[in-house]
Amino acid sequence: MAPRRWPLKACKVKEHSVVASTKEQASPSSARLVAPWIVLGSLGAIGMVIFGASIGAAIHPGVHRWWFNVVVTPRALAETGFYGSIAVLVAGWIGVGFHARHGRLGIGLAWCSLLAWGLPLFLGQPLFSRDIYSYVAQGLIAHRGLNPYNVAPTVLDPSTAFSSVATVWHKTTSPYGPGFLGISKLTIGIAGHGPVAQIMAFRALELLGVGLMMVAMPVLARRNGNDPGLGLWLAALSPLALFGFVASAHNDALMIGLMIAGLAVVSTGRLGWGMALMALGSTVKLPALGAIVFVAVDRYSAAADTKERRRVILDAVGIPLVIIAGMTTVVGYGWGWLGPKALRIPTELRILTTPLVAVATFLDHLLHAIGIPVRLGGTETVVLLVGEIASVLVIILLLVRVPGGPMLRLLGLALLVVVLGSPTIWPWYWLWGVSVLAASDAQRSKALAVLACVGMLAVGAGGTPLLGGWTFWVTGPLLLVGGLWVATGGRWRILIAPSIGRALS
């Protein structure tokens, strides 16, 4: 039987618009219109690297320097220049986005944008996060023949690798999959023991994920009747993606790249190969398993007969199990990455950038203000439990709508719900859902564009959360009112209706 292809769930009007976009992309005038905005964004990226050298996530201790050294004093000047440079980059990104929304961002121009904006960030010191130092530490632990699921970075003390790790993770074992740990060990073997070389090597590793997105996103978007240039603008070129994937080199890039590549391969009718790629993504970070579940339900419901359903089950269940079990066995660190200890690690911190934590803190202070004595820990426990239950129910609702529904949009929303209901949220987590929605008909959503634009600004240049102190008095009520507004009056139906692109535009 010929492989079943993913149907294009797009109306004739949308197909016409995609064809029109392709014609516009072919126009030589497109490059002339987009180029000034690319240059503007590049100037912003260069400014971020120069000013960020003084306030970013520098190597510790201070005797170790980046491969170039720029000192901007006083600190207020460095911060002003840094955030001013971000504003310039954002202006360039918005300018490119205007032309992308009119179909004038071709694949070649998208690659030029990535090179112009990403290269300075790749060459500069880490920004927005210290997680890359945790990757280096875990790679060193593995390279020494120890098990990163059993041994924390403290074993490296007093090395530079240990000192550079964020303090909260000093005694924490690895929460990542065996695939990533195996690659980390290999990366350290190639990079050697110089901290700058190690960081650059891990950045190059994460760029493989970005490259996969750049190649696979156009395929996935086209197969679903959407604009490939606009998808790349949102998923790979946005400030959230550039800062999360390039400047801070999070391994989410590798996971998402494999997940998007798997979805693209499935869309061409090769379910088994697509499942293999997504399973590999899950051995980096677990959220890629969500894509496997949603694709499995979609393909099973679309199967024509019993024989085809059996084939879907074999591909959707058997292949991921073989790959996950095989990777775990070959890497040789055991199954601790799926144990409760490892799964709990990403949720251990309670930061006010997490919506549920902000709501819990607001409610706790409100209860105290009206004379009801409660403990913050108890309030957080109740709010987080309610949030997790609500998230599970919403994900189930999205999953049951997959048969005959817009699978990509539902998957992207489910990944956003996973993040929204988590006890701990870091900005780059939003890229799980944003990257999938970028290929769907939600790619024109202004709300999605705003998230991709300013999402990373919840943390500072050095990786410290900015929404601390008394900010919960603002964010807490806003989140409660926003949640009630979406949940009432049937407004939540807009999110899962086929008209999401028009409703949110």
Amino acid, res. 282? S
Output the pTM of the full model: 0.90
Query: Could you give the CA distance from residue 372 to residue 365 in angstroms, rounded to a whole number?
Result: 9
Structure confidence at residue 13 (pLDDT): 33
In terms of average pLDDT, the best of 56-65, 67-76, 277-286, 346-355 is: 277-286
Is pLDDT above 80 for 7?
Answer: no
Instruction: Please name the helix (run of DSSP H) or strand (run of DSSP E) that holds residue 308, with its range, or none.
Output: helix 306-313
- Return mean pLDDT, the chain: 87
Query: Could you give the CA distance from residue 330 to residue 332 in angstroms, rounded to a whole number?
Result: 5
Structure confidence at residue 468 (pLDDT): 75
Query: Angle 86-44-123 (CA atoms, 0-180°, nearest 5)?
Result: 100
Compute φ and ψ for 250, nearest 5 degrees.
-75, 145
The tokens describing 252, both together, are 């989410």
- So where are the chain's domains? 14-504
Per-residue confidence at 193, pLDDT binned at 50, 70, 90?
A: confident
* Residue matched to tokens 């959230």: 240
| Weakest-pLDDT range from 94-103, 273-282, 323-332, 339-348 | 339-348
Q: How far is the CA of 219 from the CAs of 5, 96, 276, in angstroms?
A: 13, 21, 18
Structure confidence at residue 497 (pLDDT): 58
Per-residue confidence at 235, pLDDT binned at 50, 70, 90?
A: very high
Mean pLDDT of 446-465: 91
Structure confidence at residue 481 (pLDDT): 85
Higher pLDDT, 3 or 272: 272
Beta strands per DSSP E along 434-499: none
Reported as a single tens digit per residue, the pLDDT across 380-412 is 889 999 999 999 999 999 999 999 889 999 999
Instruction: Name the nearest CA neighbour of 222 among 162, 258, 267.
Output: 267
| Weakest-pLDDT range from 15-29, 49-63, 141-155, 165-179 | 15-29
